[in-house]
Amino acid sequence: MPEHAPAIEGHCDDRFAAVRAAFEENFHERGELGAAVTVLHGGETVVDLWGGWADAARSRPWERDTLVNVWSTTKGPTALCAHLLADRGQLDLDAPVAAYWPEFAAAGKESIPVRHLLSHRAGLAGLREPHTLAELYDWELTCARLAATEPWWTPGTQSGYHAMTYGFLVGEVVRRITGQLPGDFLRQEVTGPLGIDFAIGLPEKEAGRAAELVHPPAEEGSQQAALFAQMHPVALAALVNPLVSVSEANTAAWRAAQLPAANGHGTARAVAALYGVLAGRDEFAGRPLLSAEAAARVREGQGSCRDLVLGAGFAHDTELALGLWLSGRNRSYGPNPRAFGHDGFGGSFGLADPEADMSMGYVMNRMGPHIADDPRKTALIDAVYASAPPGGLGGLGGVGG
């Protein structure tokens, strides 16, 4: 092992040695700075590894409880809030959004159902008017502007990644029903009772545990700039109105804000646990948080198409569920097409494969240029499915819908 390679700490079951090897390889060959990966399988933590540095200066080792911003991997826990309400009969995913949020009916949006918010089909991928970062931190203002604006396309006919607006749209429905912002609802109903180390709106007292996000190498950043130059206006509205820099995401204002699409802070252990809850695999007070029916609804396909926002950066169509992405034919979350997950800008991800009784989380601080399918992610997922313990994950390549 090279002298500069960090020590890898934690636990890895011998059956999943390939995951440890891939995790180490990410440091040697893929520019990893600090990271953690957790795999839950059959009710057990079979992989829980961390290593590297929590800051660019390499002065703070990555610890077992290091938190990091996971960008859009946050969308899974935000979707969970809506699915919990639907499971309790408080939210009808086929009802108009305006039934819960009357102001939303403006500009021809009176018939948009809640499921279109979860599946990025509402036509509200970004605001048409300039929206500053300071305004983004203002929940009431951002939601008021979304309620007043007109869709970019006929809702329900196409999908376009609601990169930042997703959190306000789904989150405001949660707030109208519960009276709580989504981060507070998630803490009260899920992360608090289950002891999951994840927050949307990081408390100031926890800031000392947060890793510093680090810009990608210059050549990778230039690739991203070239991608922006090719983008359709709706994609620019979704991804750069406002443009959030990696440096901004290290500030106290970003960490403390309620941004349920993009600023969840947690450990890999927490991400794996939350995606397991989405699969109906975790219990509180002797019963699953989500019923079997609700867990099945999470991965109810909403259609495959070339995404209007992400299309320029993807060579394939994407397959949407209700708040998550399906692995599908592209194997984005392993060989089971019914597995599901969500990526975060720069590399993080969470996934669940109910047929394999497995969930997984990966978090890191050295940003890659990818919105999804970072090479570090792919290496780790491939390694999990290459592990074939008796009764384990091998042979799932042929699992159907």
Contact (Cβ atoms closer than 8 angstroms) between residue 261 and residue 167: yes
For the chain, report the end-to-end CA distance as a whole number of angstroms.
43
Report pLDDT for 228. Answer: 55
The residue among 350, 361, 354 whose CA lies nearest residue 339 is: 354
CA distance 328 to 339: 8
Contact (Cβ atoms closer than 8 angstroms) between residue 272 and residue 361: yes
70 dihedral zone (left: phi>0; alpha: psi -120 to 50; beta): alpha
CA distance 278 to 32: 28
Domain chopping of the chain, boundaries: 8-398
Tell whether the torsion through CA atoms of 382, 216, 311 and 230 is positive or negative. negative
Residues contacting 57, CB < 8 A, separation 6+: none
Helix (H, G, I), strand (E, B) or coil at 93: coil
The residue among 198, 213, 322 whose CA lies nearest residue 265 is: 198
For the stretch 252-299, pLDDT in tens is 999 999 999 999 999 999 999 999 999 998 767 677 899 999 999 999
DSSP letter for each residue of 372-401: S--HHHHHHHHHHHH---TTSSTTGGG---
Contact (Cβ atoms closer than 8 angstroms) between residue 301 and residue 337: no
Tokens of 392: 């384990």
Helix (H, G, I), strand (E, B) or coil at 98: helix
Cα–Cα distance list, 388 to 17, 172, 176, 193, 257 (Å) = 11, 43, 46, 33, 42
Residues contacting 15, CB < 8 A, separation 6+: 46, 387, 389, 392
CA distance 24 to 21: 5
Report pLDDT for 395. Answer: 47
Catalytic position from the list 59, 72, 245, 327: 72
Report pLDDT for 93. Answer: 98
Tell whether the torsion through CA atoms of 332, 307, 35 and 276 is positive or negative. negative
The residue among 398, 353, 350, 344 whose CA lies nearest residue 371 is: 344
Q: Chain-centre distance of CA 140, in angstroms?
A: 23
Amino acid at 398: G
pTM for this predicted structure = 0.94
> In the CATH hierarchy, which fold is given to the domain comprising 8-398?
Beta-lactamase (3.40.710)
**Residue 72 annotated among the catalytic residues of the structure:** yes
Starting at the edge strand found earlier in the chain, the sheet holding 349-353 runs 8-12, 44-52, 34-41, 358-364, 349-353, 340-343, 325-326, 318-320, 303-305
CA distance 178 to 271: 24
CA distance 167 to 145: 14
Report pLDDT for 314. Answer: 58
List the beta bridge partners of residue 51. 8, 35
Report pLDDT for 285. Answer: 64
Contact (Cβ atoms closer than 8 angstroms) between residue 171 and residue 258: yes
Helix (H, G, I), strand (E, B) or coil at 188: helix
CA distance 29 to 26: 6
Amino acid at 278: L
Tell whether the torsion through CA atoms of 387, 393, 398 and 401 is positive or negative. negative
For the stretch 11-47, pLDDT in tens is 999 999 999 999 999 999 999 999 999 999 998 999 9
135 dihedral zone (left: phi>0; alpha: psi -120 to 50; beta): alpha
Q: In 10 A of CB 103, how many CB atoms?
A: 14
Instruction: Identify each DSSP E strand in 86-184 by its residue range.
Output: none
Contact (Cβ atoms closer than 8 angstroms) between residue 26 and residue 363: no
pLDDT tens track, the chain, 401 positions: 344 678 999 999 999 999 999 999 999 999 999 999 999 999 899 999 999 999 999 999 999 999 999 999 999 999 999 999 999 999 999 999 999 999 999 999 999 999 999 999 999 999 999 999 999 999 999 999 999 999 999 999 999 999 999 999 999 999 999 999 999 999 999 999 999 999 999 999 999 999 999 988 765 545 555 555 556 789 899 999 999 999 999 999 999 999 999 999 999 999 999 999 999 987 676 778 999 999 999 999 998 777 888 875 555 677 899 999 999 888 999 999 999 999 999 999 999 999 999 999 999 999 998 778 899 999 999 999 999 654 456 544 433 33
List the beta bridge partners of residue 89. none
Report pLDDT for 3. Answer: 45
CA distance 53 to 55: 6
